[in-house]
Every structure is written in structure tokens, then in C-alpha cells.
Chains A and B, each alone.
Chain A
């Protein structure tokens, strides 16, 4: 039997498709890959599913600049050939950035995710309070108790970094590095809500997903 292969795909999820959900995106990929005719590896059992995994769900309404997905194939295919076949099958808004072969034996992609980077642009044209002040006071807090879906949690430990990336006359951009994975996942909209900026949000984009260095898991 030929060896199987695992490809790590980096792609962007743009404005056109930012409102589709995580499950929608999974279906989108499955169908695009089937159209491309790449030899997907399916799970065994009563209900065979293709082995496709996305590193970290992206909330509805947020774009992603470097989203990561692992795709398993039942036989090896040159990453370039994979990319050529798949690119033709992608709807507007999904852009293939990079395809790399990774070890089949690596742990599941989702278990490797440690943190994610976001940039959030907020409208400050009618804002009197300085965003910088709000950021500083948020970072000083030891705990930030919030409720989400009826559950109370502490947002503070999920915020690894929060900074002002850029400001101009009527808007500013916040950068944040949020924890992701088993210890809890920080959500950018929750951070913005804590800052009292929910109504001013213009756009949010995830710029990066950080993984644990190989060997640490």
C-alpha cells in the first residue's frame, strides 16, 4: 500500500466569506477538495469522513489572513500540484497561500494551537475617552470576570498581549495575542466588549495562529 500524506495548507478567509460559520467552512473545503479531485483520505467506519482539520475556529464576521488546515491524502501528491488543482475550485474570498508537507505522525492540528493574533480596527471619531487609557487599565486588572453563554469566566488570563497597533484621526487599530487551546480560548469580541468598544468595531482580522514548537506536546 502506498504511504499516506499530510499537507498543511495556509489560506486566507476574506471579506466575501467572513460571515460563513466554521461548519460552513469545513463543508466548503470538503467540496472544493472533492471538486479538485485530490485523493482525500477518508476515515474508516460506518460513516467515512475526509480527514480535514482546521487549526482553530474563526468566529463569524472575522476575516483570517493566515488560517491553517491539515488535509490527509491517501497517496502522495506534490504540494504544488495540490495547490494548482485546488486553487481553481475556490470561491471568491478563499485564497490559497501556502501548501507544505508535514509528518503524518504529528499530533492533531487543533491540539498544537497555543495562541492567536488579531487586529481590530475601531472607529474613534466620536470617542472622547482615550483608547490607550482603556487598554492600560484593562491590562492592570488581575481578573476580568465576564459571562458568555450563561457561563462565568475570567478573560484576563486569556489575554497574553494587548497593544495599540496604529492610530489616526478617526480610527485606531488594536493588536491582541489571545490564548487558544485547552486552557481556554480568548475571543477578540469579548476583549473589545471589555474595553467598551463593541459598537465602534469596524473590522476584525486574525493575522496568525501560533503553534507549540515541535516536541513540546
Chain B
């Protein structure tokens, strides 16, 4: 088999924006001998190169797979609209960056599914890669199409296009699926039946979904004995060492820096946050391992910035000492250290002082709600005085721009709560002006809550259009003036995102229809045409509001109920009730165990969990 024709590519690339997105050859990219490596794995990310290259999960899998002697892993991203057209015009199939082989020549194509609105890009990649879109139309001659990532916690809208999903963390299960491929990869059906028995693997074709007259799901039932009634996510007991020989892109990536995941999971329990629920339990990476990895990673990449990532890096035990040591080791070579998420308190500010040094441009915080009452509803436990004093000390110690994230459409929210956002912003603006005069800037971003599967808010509706419009109106009126910038989500986009993230299997036809009508890069506002989607919904006799804006009874079968994040439904219901009663829930590292179910699901030996540094109090208690 031959790789993509160089001459055709040579006349295509000069016509497109940023052609180096499509040429590979980056430092640390791994090009194995195609002919001599039996198992060929493509790692696909359904967005443009610069976004995909910032994804850590894909880099972890790339590293693991390429360490296998009999397997190769090559990367493939979605060509931007101009490149897709140019490729179709000159008959160039979607090809991998390493060896430039068409996608259909790989044995397995693994997609990372990070975000619902990327879904049409999956179709573009399959189609352009010469692979039939529908799993039912594929046979032994086609690659197996596997999906992973946070998108698989409700994979139902995508089941038509995938053979297999992996729910949860991929580090171990990817090798099990590879071993299975060695055993029976040549026979697709046998492979899928055996894969279905693997923990964390979901083969959607082995399940049947029935619906009630009102359009809700009645039952999701296995149709084969190999298929489990419920698929529980995979986790690793402790984080494997982070990849240190990562690909350094030529084209500037969205996150153009070295990255170390310092912990996985989060103990704060914010009720709107899907990541906080699905990535449980908290597992910290030992400090020595981070320091050793930083040395190797910076030496292997030459990056001038190191980001310590996790859902809430300020909560890493010993973060101050860690940052100090990293700065002592790498500061002299002008390497900066960053934490992507900061809490709004004096501790975080002190940290920011440490790693920003004299370079003080902007700081980002997420109070999420304007009133203390509503912050209790969502369990974002921050008080007004802390917010004010943190902003004040930030401005006073030299920062001049603060960015704030808020949400609207939260349960129990009234117009008073929305006005409280504006009041808080104006208070902070006054603080800024006192400290920095006209130089003080405040950027305010107000997102609309998308009630996500596997969160305590999974039953509540997306706020309706009229009241969102009204709230946006109030915010626009009350947040204005020099130094203030306000941005918000388009309500139509939120409706689409909510419908896709809360949908069932019937949405497969909607996605296909929208893609055929030209939907591409729907996560990009310049490319999204929601009208195209509403037509696709109505062509299938479906209503996006049914999925997005309907309050679901607690006893309704949710389309994703057969997928388990290890957190119990009882816990989610209890958290929803506490939310509506405006009761805060403590961080899992304080007080007693909140019994979210994660310990019961993964009833591991407490001692092993201790060694794996599980960060919840339940582990400490059961270890004693």
C-alpha cells in the first residue's frame, strides 16, 4: 500500500491556510516502518490541528501505543474547511501525519471525543478517510472505529458511527484492546463480542433501545450474552508516569507548552461540573515524579513554559513547594510555570505571585455565580469578601487585567441573582480603578449552564430562550463602561449543545443529516449554522427542546443510564436535593466521606488506594 501522492499534495497545500497543519515531521513524532509493523493504530481528534495538538489524552495514548513493538500509532486531525474542499477536489484521502497513509488503511481508528459539537467532524474524517460512516456498513476490510474521552459518558447520539466505545481512562484498557486485536483482530464480529466483555468497553450494536409513547427511553437492553447490562468506566489506581517525549508542533498550538498532569479528579464537588463527577476519585501524582518528569519533558521538548494541569491545581497537596522547586530548577533557563485554574483566595494569589514574577498581565477566576445563595446551590463555595479581597490584592500587586467566569441558567436562579453578577462586577471594577486607575481591566464571560449527564443537574432543563435573552439584556445593560468587557453564549448554540449532550440514539440520523447538509466545525462560531441543525431535527421528526429543555422526572430512564461513572445515582439525587435546598456540600477532603459511590464501585484494597494516593477522605477512613 502506498502513502498519499506527494505531487497532488504539493499542488494542494499552497492553496490552504496554515499548510503546516497537514505536513507532520514535528520533533518527537514517531514514524515507524509501516510495512514491518503489523498493527496500525490511528489516533484521531475531531478538531483542527492546533486544538488537537493541545490534547494530553491523545499524547498519552500515542506514547503508550508506540512503545509496543508490533504496533504503530499515527495522528490525524480534522482538515479545516478549505483543506477538506481542496482534498476532495484533487481526490486526496484524509491521511495520517506520520506516514501519510489514508485513514482506511489503518486497523484501528481511535477518536478522542472531547465535546459534543465536534461530532460532525468525526463524520468528515471517516468519509474523507475512505471509511463508510455507518458501523453497520463496515466489514472486515475496514478499520475498527473506537471512541474514547469525556464524550463517551453519553455516547448514544454517536452509536451509529462507532463500533466500540471505551468509557473512562484509557491507559490500561488500550493495551487490553490491542492484545485482543492480536488474538482475533481479523474477525470484526468476534473481536467486538470479546471486546464487549472487557471492563469499560461498550459495543453499542449489542444493545437494543426501546422507547415509550412519550418519546422517552423505556429500556436499554443487551441483545447478546457478552454485553454487560451496565458499563462502568475504567480508572487507573495510580497515575502512570506522564509522557515526556511529546510531539512539539511547528504550528502554534492552542496550548503551546509542556504539560504535566499533576493530579486527576477533583474533590470540590461543584454540582454543574461534569468533569468533577466523571474523573473521580482524586489521584495525586507524587511530587518527586513531577519534578523528574519536568526535567525530562523540558529537555526533550525545549518548551519555555510548563503547565501543571488538573481540574483544580491549587488543591494539589504541597503545590507551593512544588512550584518553588520547579522555579528553582527551571527558572534560570527562563522557563515559566503556569497553573491553568486558580481559586479565588489569597493562597492562589500568592502562588500566582510566585510563578508570574514580574510578568503580570492577566489572572483568571471563576466565581460562577453572582450571589452567595446561588453559589451554595451549585456548591461553588466562595464568599463575597474573599472574591473582593482577592481581586483587590491582585490589582494592588500589579495585575491589571482580571478575567471572570460566570454562568446563568442555574437552578433556582432569579433575576436578582443575575443582577448580583452585575453588582459584583461593578464592585470589582471600582476596586480595580482604585488600585490601578484607568489601566484596570475586567473581562467578564457569562456562559449558559448546559445541564450535563452524570451530574446532579442532569434532570434539570436548559433555560428557555426568552428568559436567557432577558438575562443577557440585563447583563449587557448593567455591565458596561471603560475597562469592562462582557461576552456570553449564543442561546441557539447552547440549545444544540444541550440537545446533543442529553440525546439518545435517534440523534444519529440528525447528526448524519446535518453533516450531509454541510455542518462542519460546529464548535466554531464562524462555521456553525444552527438553522441547518433545526432542519435536520425536524426532518427526523425530533425536537431539540425535547432533549434540552425538558425537566426529566427522577424515575425517567436516561439515555446514558447504562453508562456508569462510578458515582451512584442516589448521590446525584441527594446532591440535587441539597442544591435546591441551598445546602453546600464540603470538599471530599474535609469532614467525612460523602459516599458518592466511587469507593464502592472500585472496592479496592484500601492500602493499595493509599499508595495510589486517592485523595478522598473515605480512603483515609477505611485505611485506618
Chain A positions within 8 Å of B, measured between CB atoms, are 16-17, 19-21, 23-24, 27-28, 30-35, 37, 40, 42, 46-48, 50, 60-61, 89, 91-93
B302 engages A24 (CB within 8 Å): no
Residues of chain B contacted by A33 (CB below 8 angstroms): 302
A20 engages B302 (CB within 8 Å): no
Across the interface, name the chain B residue whose C-beta is closest to A89.
Answer: B302
A-B contact pairs, 10 of them (CB 8 A): A19-B23, A21-B20, A24-B252, A31-B248, A31-B304, A34-B298, A34-B304, A35-B301, A46-B359, A91-B26
B252 engages A31 (CB within 8 Å): no
A46 engages B358 (CB within 8 Å): yes
A20 engages B333 (CB within 8 Å): no
A35 CB to closest chain B CB (Å) equals 4
Give me the 5 closest cross-chain CB pairs, A-B, nearest first.
Answer: A31-B302, A34-B302, A35-B302, A19-B19, A19-B20
Q: Which residues 1-37 of B have a CB within 8 angstroms of A? A: 13-14, 18-20, 22-23, 25-27
A17, A19, A35, A93 pick with most chain B CB within 10 angstroms: A19
B436 CB to closest chain A CB (Å) equals 16
Across the interface, name the chain A residue whose C-beta is closest to B31.
Answer: A92
A30 engages B302 (CB within 8 Å): yes
A28 vs B256: C-alpha distance in the bound complex, in angstroms? 12
B358 engages A27 (CB within 8 Å): no
In the complex, whether B56 has a CB less than 8 A from a CB of chain A is no
A35 engages B304 (CB within 8 Å): no
A32 CB to closest chain B CB (Å) equals 6
A61 vs B22: C-alpha distance in the bound complex, in angstroms? 13
Q: Mark B559-588, 1 if CB is under 8 A from A, else 0.
A: 000000000000000000000000000000
A16 engages B20 (CB within 8 Å): no
B163 CB to closest chain A CB (Å) equals 34
A31 engages B359 (CB within 8 Å): no
A17 vs B250: C-alpha distance in the bound complex, in angstroms? 9
A35 vs B299: C-alpha distance in the bound complex, in angstroms? 5
Residues of chain A contacted by B303 (CB below 8 angstroms): 31, 34
How many residues on chain B are close to A (CB under 8 Å)?
26
A61-B13 in contact given A17-B25, A30-B302, A48-B334 (Cβ < 8 Å): yes
A16 engages B25 (CB within 8 Å): yes
A205 vs B251: C-alpha distance in the bound complex, in angstroms? 21
A31 vs B333: C-alpha distance in the bound complex, in angstroms? 12
B20 engages A20 (CB within 8 Å): yes
A148 CB to closest chain B CB (Å) equals 16
A46 vs B359: C-alpha distance in the bound complex, in angstroms? 5
B86 CB to closest chain A CB (Å) equals 14
B20, B250, B252 pick with most chain A CB within 10 angstroms: B250
In the complex, whether B300 has a CB less than 8 A from a CB of chain A is yes
Q: Mark B327-351, 1 if CB is under 8 A from A, else 0.
A: 0000001100000000000000000
A16 CB to closest chain B CB (Å) equals 5
B359 CB contact (under 8 Å) in A20, A32, A47, A60: A47
Residues of chain A contacted by B26 (CB below 8 angstroms): 91
B19 engages A61 (CB within 8 Å): yes
Across the interface, name the chain B residue whose C-beta is closest to A93.
Answer: B25
A35 engages B300 (CB within 8 Å): yes
B75 CB to closest chain A CB (Å) equals 15
Across the interface, name the chain A residue whose C-beta is closest to B6.
Answer: A15
A19 vs B333: C-alpha distance in the bound complex, in angstroms? 30
A24, A34, A47, A48 pick with most chain B CB within 10 angstroms: A34
A22 CB to closest chain B CB (Å) equals 12
B25 CB contact (under 8 Å) in A47, A89, A91: A91
Known: A16-B25, A23-B252. 16 other contacts (CB 8 A): A17-B25, A20-B23, A21-B18, A24-B20, A24-B252, A30-B302, A31-B27, A31-B301, A35-B301, A35-B302, A40-B334, A46-B359, A47-B359, A60-B19, A60-B20, A91-B27
A60 vs B19: C-alpha distance in the bound complex, in angstroms? 9
B18 CB to closest chain A CB (Å) equals 8
Across the interface, name the chain B residue whose C-beta is closest to A36.
Answer: B302
B250 engages A20 (CB within 8 Å): yes
A153 CB to closest chain B CB (Å) equals 22
A42 vs B334: C-alpha distance in the bound complex, in angstroms? 8
A16 vs B250: C-alpha distance in the bound complex, in angstroms? 12
B614 CB to closest chain A CB (Å) equals 36
Residues of chain B contacted by A92 (CB below 8 angstroms): 25
A89 vs B140: C-alpha distance in the bound complex, in angstroms? 42
Across the interface, name the chain B residue whose C-beta is closest to A29.
Answer: B302
A71 CB to closest chain B CB (Å) equals 14
Residues of chain A contacted by B256 (CB below 8 angstroms): 27
B248 CB to closest chain A CB (Å) equals 6
Across the interface, name the chain A residue whose C-beta is closest to B21.
Answer: A19
Residues of chain A contacted by B19 (CB below 8 angstroms): 19, 60-61
B334 engages A61 (CB within 8 Å): no
Residues of chain B contacted by A47 (CB below 8 angstroms): 359
B252 engages A34 (CB within 8 Å): no
Across the interface, name the chain B residue whose C-beta is closest to A62.
Answer: B14
A16 engages B23 (CB within 8 Å): yes
B416 CB to closest chain A CB (Å) equals 42
Residues of chain B contacted by A37 (CB below 8 angstroms): 299
Q: Which residues 288-345 of B have a CB within 8 angstroms of A? A: 298-304, 333-334
B304 CB contact (under 8 Å) in A21, A28, A30, A60: A30
